[in-house]
Chain A
Amino acid sequence: MNERIAAVLATHGAHLEQVTPLHGGACQENFRISATVEGKATQWALRSDSDTSLPGSLRRRDEFAVIEAAVAAGVQTPRAQWLSPGLLRPGRDAYFLDWVPGEAIGRRVVRNPELAGAREKLPGALAGSLAALHGVVPAQVTLPLAPVASTPARAALTQLRGMIDGLPSALPAVELALVWAEKHLPTSSEVVLVHGDFRTGNFLVTPDGLAGILDWEFAHWGSRYEDLSWISVRDWRFNRLELPVGGFAARRPFYDAYAAASGHTVDVDQVLWWEVIGNLRWAVGSVYQGERYLSGQATDLELIAIARRCVEMEHEALRLIHRGAL
């Protein structure tokens, strides 16, 4: 494996020094690649397909195409380079990413004192990148992503419905929220490139501010409001509940910065709708994790703790519905 990595680097004038495994997740393997280019120390991240994949999660080759489009549009995210089929495993793609130092761990991004100045800059920087990302539309860019069959909102409800129908117990709070969601369904058919997991924990921060947006594996064609709302889902505030945007900012500055950068005024009713959906997705997803443990598919006790969070997310969805407005 190291010989193949060294060979790819060599064709680009780099000499491999070390390959260090990083935390990867279920569907990919990540490594830190230390090398020298003309004597100067350089680093890359290396992402490879593993042997398992999750539905709704992009393969590396498709992720690579999304990152290229995002970078071309001006999104602040590390560049993807040198797509390499079969690099680590036969039939599995891998690619290299510019290495960007910074802190991504959510609880540190929202709390570390040395990042206080950075947190003030985050709304503007993130809004700018999101606006650039949402400027990528199917009419202009061809990407290996599924088209939206109806409207993004209808597709989201159908997907949630599918997740819930597979569960053993009745979830009346989720069902009530779906009745509400059906009644207030956004009618917009606008489709843009969506990050799909845009939240604190998926971007790097240094004391100077935003360093890069990460983790494009859930990118898809959809509604810009998915990204605008997911960052406010309760769990992604990392307990800074009074700062609804990512646990570091109020809503107004973020939405105003987004409007200025994109020319699109944020419709807070749509943010509310997608935020309810976001809390529901997380609630139902957490029940799934618990079911994986109970069915013997997985043995990590943490999955049971995650499953019990379902009631918290249900409560948050109901709270938003009860308020009826942000």
Chain B
Amino acid sequence: MSAFLLSEVAPALEAKKALQFRVLIAANLASVVANENRSEIERFNAETARLAALLKVPVPSALDATERSAAVEHMNRQLITGLRDGSIDFAAALTHLRATARETLAVTNPRFDPSDELNQ
């Protein structure tokens, strides 16, 4: 889908810049979603392993994408509760969340620079 939009549709829209811009966005989104789908199970496993350790609960078993999404949402709500009442270690949660953000960004925006030493 992404290749079609980029190689066939976008060049034909040279004269309609606003539409061409949206075609480029659509192509990029299609490509990002494809990448996300390919890596989704690995990222789910990594994220829920860390969450399970933080929350001291078992790693969830989930059969399909909908169940995986629900499992992560449930654990995230527990994480939020634990952060607010202080029962979860802040530094450990911070490390987990930074790792999760990086794993997501590696797929959704590989050009994003996640280094801590961004010139301050």
With an 8 A cutoff between CB atoms, is A51 at the interface?
no
With an 8 A cutoff between CB atoms, is A244 at the interface?
yes
Residue pair A322, B25 in contact (C-beta under 8 Å) = no
Which of A172, A244, A301 makes the CB contact (< 8 A) with B25?
A: A301
Task: List, in ascending order, chain B residues with CB within 8 A of A318's CB.
Answer: 94, 97-98, 101
A305 to B28, CA, bound (A): 9
A6 to B120, CA, bound (A): 51
Q: Which of the segments B6-14, B57-65, B77-85 contacts the partner chain?
A: B77-85
A31 to B29, CA, bound (A): 34
A175 to B97, CA, bound (A): 11
Residue pair A315, B22 in contact (C-beta under 8 Å) = no
A250 to B120, CA, bound (A): 8
Contacts A304-B29, A305-B25, A308-B32; A176 near B94 (Cβ below 8 A): yes
Contacts A301-B25, A311-B108, A326-B120; A173 near B101 (Cβ below 8 A): yes
What is the interface residue range for chain A against chain B? Answer: 20 to 34
A269 to B118, CA, bound (A): 18
**Chain A 300-322 near chain B by CB (<8 Å), digits 1 or 0:** 11101100100110110011011
Task: List, in ascending order, chain B residues with CB within 8 A of A301's CB.
Answer: 22, 25-26, 29
Contacts of B49-80 to chain A: CB distance below 8 A: 73, 76-77, 79-80
B82, chain A: closest CB distance, angstroms? 10
Contacts A304-B29, A319-B118; A311 near B94 (Cβ below 8 A): no
With an 8 A cutoff between CB atoms, is A242 at the interface?
yes
**Chain A 245-269 near chain B by CB (<8 Å), digits 1 or 0:** 0000011000000000000000000
Residue pair B109, A312 in contact (C-beta under 8 Å) = yes
Task: List, in ascending order, chain A residues with CB within 8 A of B113's CB.
Answer: 241
Which of A175, A311, A326 makes the CB contact (< 8 A) with B101?
A: A311
A251, chain B: closest CB distance, angstroms? 7
B118, chain A: closest CB distance, angstroms? 5
B94, chain A: closest CB distance, angstroms? 6
Total chain B interface residues with beta-carbon distance under 8 A: 32
A169 to B73, CA, bound (A): 7
Which of B29, B102, B119 makes the CB contact (< 8 A) with A241?
A: B119
Residue pair A251, B120 in contact (C-beta under 8 Å) = yes
With an 8 A cutoff between CB atoms, is B116 at the interface?
yes
Contacts of A84-136 to chain B: CB distance below 8 A: none
A248, chain B: closest CB distance, angstroms? 13
With an 8 A cutoff between CB atoms, is B2 at the interface?
no
With an 8 A cutoff between CB atoms, is B34 at the interface?
no
Task: List, in ascending order, chain B residues with CB within 8 A of A314's CB.
Answer: 97, 101
Name A173's closest neighbour in chain B (CB-CB): B97
Residue pair A315, B116 in contact (C-beta under 8 Å) = no
With an 8 A cutoff between CB atoms, is A170 at the interface?
yes
With an 8 A cutoff between CB atoms, is A243 at the interface?
yes
Task: List, in ascending order, chain A residues with CB within 8 A of B109's CB.
Answer: 308, 312
Residue pair B80, A312 in contact (C-beta under 8 Å) = no
* Chain A residues within 8 Å of B, Cβ to Cβ: 169-170, 172-173, 175-176, 179-180, 241-244, 250-251, 300-302, 304-305, 308, 311-312, 314-315, 318-319, 321-323, 326
* Chain B residues within 8 Å of A, Cβ to Cβ: 22, 25-26, 28-29, 32, 73, 76-77, 79-80, 83-84, 90, 93-94, 97-98, 100-102, 104-105, 108-109, 112-114, 116, 118-120
17 residue pairs bridging A and B, Cβ less than 8 Å apart = A170-B73, A170-B76, A172-B76, A172-B83, A179-B83, A179-B90, A242-B119, A244-B119, A244-B120, A301-B29, A305-B25, A312-B105, A314-B97, A315-B102, A318-B98, A322-B98, A323-B120
7 residue pairs, one from A and one from B, having the closest CB atoms: A242-B119, A170-B76, A315-B101, A175-B80, A172-B76, A173-B97, A326-B120
